[in-house]
Structure 1
């Protein structure tokens, strides 16, 4: 029997076979609707995606609706304080159940014909359906959901990658001391970038561009903290950073705060990386003066100078955990050339706005940085679309983590497109 190979599979295979290690991806990876279809099926359809933080749904009935591509997913806090995820689609005739990005529900009621579901997804009310209708067979379609120290991940696959459990075991000691579950959302900002989602992620995975483009961010972040490899050009500065980092990590480890780098970006299905790094100058937080943005510290911390714990996950997130606040980023494709970047800032649930913190100060660094990155990735998208673009070489000193992102992406597409 002859097997028909789709145009999507043929194009994807050709591009993957031509991929040159150490170089950026070919233009169709950033422009093609066909490649986006492969991304939605094999990357966003089969892997664990970061979508929200638990403080977004603190009480029973609280929900957030996550939209990406053609997908719409409800994340709901149930009456037992569990976190559940469902396709945001009524089982009757397919209406979207919740239009708003977030809100509060008693039950989940379809606006079309008022089919009603409880917070476990069970259908509890449907008028005029006849004696033979069995409501037990018409509950909402569930989505796999896991929480990791307050971070919410979903997976659309029937059989999600099992190595999430391994990541959770390794990361919980790093994340749990910050007690994200005991925080509240102080601010959330969505921006739409006119670029492919991979450009957004690649830009995040390097700081080659930081000094020239991010004056606000580099007040607090050392240039050498994110994947830099030793080079003769900056040997003395790099050694100084290594010495500062080693001394700080020794102190943090003695306080029960794991700090050593774990790098699993391209050798696991559920790829990730973490490391606690020192903050420059006052050394407290990612703010314009590097002092804490919130006087009410997280958890039971008493020392504000706990550095910044960075946590990156493939394919779509990065996070910074500090003594006083946590900032999380989720990247979700809208189309081949449009991407949603959602940034969420959390502070201690008892912190008082205007007393302990101001939203303006809390968000200043990353609002500025996000705007600058938006310009950079959109200019890259424009250049790639001109026809003059061809893949260029990554710097072996500053872009190794971009290469790891591309390796992970290419390996996962290869695994599913055969």
Structure 2
């Protein structure tokens, strides 16, 4: 009988290129535990945006596996991250997802921490007690133009500066820090986190499953097979390619970087970006393809800015429009459940009911998320079937799924080698 380490090594080294993973990658509790150790406790994880904690004393909690992390805005307006663990006897400090505090006070024995993590009050500990070495344990936190990433390991991947330098010119014009969260949804998908990401990394399924999304978004933007298309689809695909080229040129001339950067499997912090043209009126991810918010983001004066797509390995994808932003994070709960957290951001000065309507703002992605959730559950059920075996990816429409899996296997390989 193989031990757990040997069994995992056999799975990782036995992965067949160009194919989906063996069933235990999606169904095994042991593999899930290894995923948390190798991936989610060691990589930069997207957790939210600076507007999640807009004012001093605002706190957000994020749970990643067994870890709970506090994201806090200090009095000096700096954002810091700490483990959500009292240094006395380990009690959790904050249970709520969002809170506003003057100090962080443990309900158990009233140990009190300043917003910068210093222990400032510990009653009945005696004259010899040294509070200076019992501050909250910090967590690495980086903001990429307002997008917040944390890393739980002591020595995080060193390439975040590279990713930030490449991505900042793309994201900065959208002024994330000058937005507010208009709406958030938390959806638990009944599937393994890798199935959630795999589903996101392709649009092979879009035309058949996403009638709302494919109103503004061209499915061709993520690959297609022209030799297999009927004349109408081919005509639309050619229209998209022509629009993509002309739009990229126009946007670049406006100072908006638009061309693809694709490093999904070539570095530890894998990422991809591209500004994609939209169909119809070409303004936003709405059913009428017009802007959902009357007040644009940043200093934009042209509504037809397409949609900037930004992905990070292992757990996020984002869409930056001229009028709003939609961000997504996938947080594993166990081998068969994944929390997908979606936030819709609008200009901080926009007024609900005057400048934007919530139902219109969230309609496309609320429907798409529900459809994707059903697809992920369907795949999870299939992976649990004894008849399941890894199937081949389409080289024309699922190449980015393959890149995600290659990234995952490479990270697991490095973890197992240590």
Please classify the TM superposition score into its range, dividing by the shorter chain length.
over 0.9
Secondary structure of 1:168 counterpart = helix
On the 8 A contact 1:8/1:38 being kept in 2, the answer is no
Tell me what 1:188 maps to.
184
Partner of residue 337, structure 1: 336
- The one of 134, 139, 154 equivalent to 2:135 is 139
SS at match of 1:303: coil
- C-alpha contact 1:8 1:37 (8 A) present in aligned 2: no
In the alignment, the residues of structure 1 paired with residue 288 and residue 62 of structure 2 have an alpha-carbon distance, to the nearest angstrom, of 34
Give 1:242 shift: 1.4
Post-superposition offset of 1:236: 4.6
2-side partners of 1:216 and 1:383: how far apart?
A: 26
Residue equivalent to 2:228: 233
Runs of 4+ in 1 over 6 A off after TM superposition: none
Deviation at 1:269, TM superposition (A): 0.4
Residue aligning to 2:147:
151
Partner of 1:414: 413
Per-residue deviation, 1:238: 3.1
Aligned CA RMSD, in angstroms, stands at: 1.0
- For residue 64 of structure 1, the aligned residue among 48, 56, 60 is 60
* Residue segments in structure 2 that go unaligned for 5+ positions in a row: none
Number of residue pairs matched? 412
Q: Deviations over 1:261-299 (max 9, x none)?
A: 000000010000000000100000000110000000001
Structure 2 Cα separation of the partners of residues 121 and 27 of structure 1: 43
**CA contact 2:40–2:64 (8 Å) conserved in 1:** no
**Residue aligned with 2:163, SS:** helix
State whether residues 76 and 119 of structure 1, in contact with CA within 8 Å, keep that contact through their aligned partners in structure 2: yes
* 2:320 equivalent to 1:321: yes
For residue 94 of structure 2, the aligned residue among 94, 98, 108 is: 98
Q: Which runs of 5+ in 1 are unaligned?
A: 1-5
Query: 1:238 and 1:396 mapped to 2: Cα distance?
Result: 17
Return the alpha-carbon distance in structure 2 between the equivalents of residues 116 and 20 of structure 1. 53
The Cα shift of 1:167 comes to 0.4
| C-alpha separation in 1, matches of 2:96 and 2:311 | 28
What is the CA-CA distance between 1:230 and the residue it aligns to?
5.1
Q: Which of the residues 14, 29, 45 maps onto 1:33?
A: 29
Residues of 1 paired with 2:49 and 2:388: CA distance?
38
- Deviation digits for residues 105-149 of structure 1 (CA, Å, limit 9, x no counterpart): 111111111100001111000000112211111011110000001
TM-score, normalised to structure 2, is 0.97
| Mean Cα deviation higher: 308-317 or 101-110 | 101-110
**Aligned counterparts, 1:281-320, within 5 A:** 281-320=280-319
